[in-house]
A and B are shown apart, each in its own frame.
Chain A
């Protein structure tokens, strides 16, 4: 079995699995690691089905953090996801709702149209969703005109998992929340 890093991270370039069937993952949720063996995995394609429209936003306004309902996965599944915006919006991620993801002391970094130009594989947008623990997205219209829609497209890989009773000797760790979650 190939050795996997035990450091939580995305990998640069197009999305690729962080763990293969037979390998182990840890998912960080509710301030604890939960351990699983990967049974199978399959892609979640960038497509119409993976687009969530957060609705119309008037010039300069924002939509408060809204659950990404398109990203609910079944029992014992975790998804490794990336995203890009399709409209001229700025997106802040919260996971869980009370905790910002991609934040530092003073600022909350955002995903926007320019993100795809600087980070074409959307590697820096990567996040992980365990079952129904979806992130929330705050959408801002930075423009001087009203937007009729505010769309974000998600894609990635979902893993079918088998719970493990104890921490395995080696596992890839996936953050199911922001650092503060």
Chain B
């Protein structure tokens, strides 16, 4: 369950593109500001492109390796295609951790052009 008061001011941020090059291996796609009183994070936009020759299912959530927990329903991206989810398509979820992503691809995921690329736009809440 998530509760938030929308008029709370936030800072809109984006991180560089993250590459998923290994199946089911989460990587950090947004590092939250955690010095002093840590901020929380709302994901406002998810951009995924799939360079592999198979369709990909991508989870966005929190935690790395065995601690990964998906925060949103899975996103399916066809081979060579991209998917953008933004605005009111996304639940207004507030996360208190770095945002991570993980991909499952039947075959062919790899470095370079074969990677699944993820970029987020987020809003950080906190001073």
Contact = CB atoms under 8 A, between A and B. Distances in A.
Contacts, number: 36
A37 interface: no
A114 B9 contact: yes
A144 B98 contact: yes
Contact of B127 (A60, A110, A141): A110
B35 A60 contact: yes
Interface residues of A, number: 16
A142 interface: yes
Contact of A113 (B11, B32, B35): B11
Interface string B84-127: 00000000000000100000000000000000000000000011
Interface in A123-181: 140-145
Nearest to A112: B127
Interface residues of B, number: 14
A88 B127 contact: no
Interface in B9-55: 9, 11, 13, 15, 31-36, 39
A142 B126 CA distance: 10
A118 interface: yes
Given A110-B127, A114-B127, A144 B32 contact: yes
Contact of A144 (B9, B31, B126, B127): B31
Interface of A: 59-60, 88, 90, 110, 112-114, 117-118, 140-145
